[in-house]
Structure 1
Amino acid sequence: MIMERKWYKQGNGLLREMKEWLPGPHELIFWYLGQCGFVYKKEAIVYIDPVLNSLVDEKGDNMRYYPSPFSPDKVTADYVLCTHGHKDHLALETLTGIAKADLHTKFIVPGDCVETLVEAGIDRPRIIEACAKEELQLPGLTVYPIQAAHPVHQKTAQGKDVALCYQLTMGNIRILHLGDTYLTQQLLNDLLALKAPDLFFAPINGGDYFRTARDCIGNLNMLETANLAIMLKAAVTVPTHYDMVKGNTVDPLDFVRILREIDDAARWQLPALGEGVIYLPLSF
């Protein structure tokens, strides 16, 4: 179990790097912000599931193993995506801080989360509702949402999606970000219908009786994510959801071992907190 992690880069140094690093014509740069949070940079700057504020439980106790790398009022972004409404993915203090800091940022969320953002003070025209299997074509970004199973595939009484996975296309790069989900036949069929991802971001923390008893919904486990990466022919797999929240961590090196046992040619990446990674497809 991971008890403490340190930032490779944070604060002004990380912010400066994210501003100054420019991807080449066929490249994409991504930075790891912890849990399921990443920044993707190509023609657009995209944040997904950022948590740039404290996390506390119902008793007021700190749930994070490490602090935020910078405050949300320092963010410059074209788009911020959230996969679902749990506070380690949709962090309202983070989203409202970004909304105030960068007035051109658009927020892309499942339908079930739209009113949550509106009630928090984000103007409705800045919020884009993501609907399963309805492609969003935006400047610098194409989003194809898929219904996640967290813990089951679910819509509200009004027919709004509750939790989503996202296929993102940025230029020549395809990103598949699963957010939080179990593996179901429906999800497997939906994922196999997609083109192979260049970058595959998927949870590895799994689930068990004791976490479920604490109302901690599980995810794909390491073996499931490793097998899924091979089935989807992912060029590079980046495991997620293993290090931020107390009582819900695993060792990502165990995932790497499992993945290599299945296919020792499989490519993977374990970025440090705040580390930038320049990705160039093998075809270039």
Structure 2
Amino acid sequence: MNLEILFYGQVGFFFKSRGANFLIDPYFSHSVEEKEDRSIKRLLPVFIKPESLTDIDFVLITHAHRDHCDPDTLLPLAKSSPQCHFYGPAPVFKTLKNAGIDSERLHIVGSDSICIKGVNIHPVPSAHPLVNPDEHGGWCATGYVFEVGGGRYYHPGDTAVAPEVIEAVKATGPIDVGMIPVNEINYYRNRENIIGNMSLREAFQFAEDIGVTTFIPTHWDMFAKNQVYREEIELLYTKITPSFELKIMEAGSSIVS
């Protein structure tokens, strides 16, 4: 494997392979606070300006929530990387078309595998909070298993645990690196219209079920209302001692897989 993985907080990743530079769910702005809820402030700086990215080949987007599908990030990125194309479920297509990105650069993802710049991509359902099929044969929230450089990687965006998710990911084969959300669903978050994902215990068991070798926790560091402390993650890992390696990436850091 020879893939550089850069983490920019929440679930935003930049991947650099020999054949392609691509992003999943980049959030490089303050638009959630500015346009949706003044109380939801970034805890992290914006590490990179989207207008500085001139070499992005494609972006995969998991669903249409602003911290995953952010027009304030993706519109300047579309201008600075005119070769870049954008892939996601139908609500993402609608959001980005309305934002002003040319529809010829937008692609609705269904359930069929696709290959982009040598990266083999297998869409799988995400449960956010349930698995919701769409009229295009895919899902309103879509995860991605992608193969590049001899490795298999999994990024679900936001997902709870559901049988359909486990079965679909397992069908693609063992996962070398899983980027899995750990911000749990609970009553108090639901009361504030914050849709959580898996608890830490669920996320660890889910990773075992789908055959993850290296576990990167996501969705734990960006917003105080949705936060999980690093110490919580590390403590549970040492107590449970699961079979995978835990790799906690601080926002702004990178690893080579």
TM over 0.5: yes
Q: Which runs of 5+ in 1 are unaligned?
A: 1-25, 280-284
Matching of residue 33 in structure 1 with residue 8 in structure 2: yes
Matching of residue 168 in structure 1 with residue 143 in structure 2: no
Report Cα offsets for 1:164-189 as digits up to 9, x if no partner: 11101112111101110111112122
Aligned-residue CA RMSD (Å): 1.7
Name 2:64's counterpart in structure 1.
Answer: 85
Picking from 98, 105, 110, the partner of 2:77 is 98
Q: What does residue range 141-180 of structure 1 map to in structure 2 within 5 Å? A: 141-156=119-134, 161-180=139-158
1:214 Cα deviation from its structure 2 partner: 0.8
Name 1:208's counterpart in structure 2.
Answer: 186
Give the aligned residue type for 1:89.
H
Matching of residue 227 in structure 1 with residue 205 in structure 2: yes
Give the aligned residue type for 1:69.
F
Report Cα offsets for 1:38-75 as digits up to 9, x if no partner: 11111211111100111316454452112211211011
Indicate conservation of the 8 Å contact 1:175/1:198, yes or no: yes
Q: Which runs of 5+ in 2 are unaligned?
A: none
**Identical amino acids, percent of aligned pairs:** 27
1:121 Cα deviation from its structure 2 partner: 0.9
Q: TM-score, normalised by structure 1?
A: 0.84
Report the Cα distance in structure 2 between the residues aligned to 1:121 and 1:241, rounded to whole angstroms: 28
Indicate conservation of the 8 Å contact 1:32/1:273, yes or no: yes
Name 2:165's counterpart in structure 1.
Answer: 187
Report the Cα distance in structure 1 between the residues aligned to 2:216 and 2:105, rounded to whole angstroms: 30
Q: TM-score, normalised by structure 2?
A: 0.92
Name 1:274's counterpart in structure 2.
Answer: 252
In the comparison of the two structures, how many residue pairs are matched?
A: 253
1:156 Cα deviation from its structure 2 partner: 4.4
Matching of residue 45 in structure 1 with residue 24 in structure 2: no
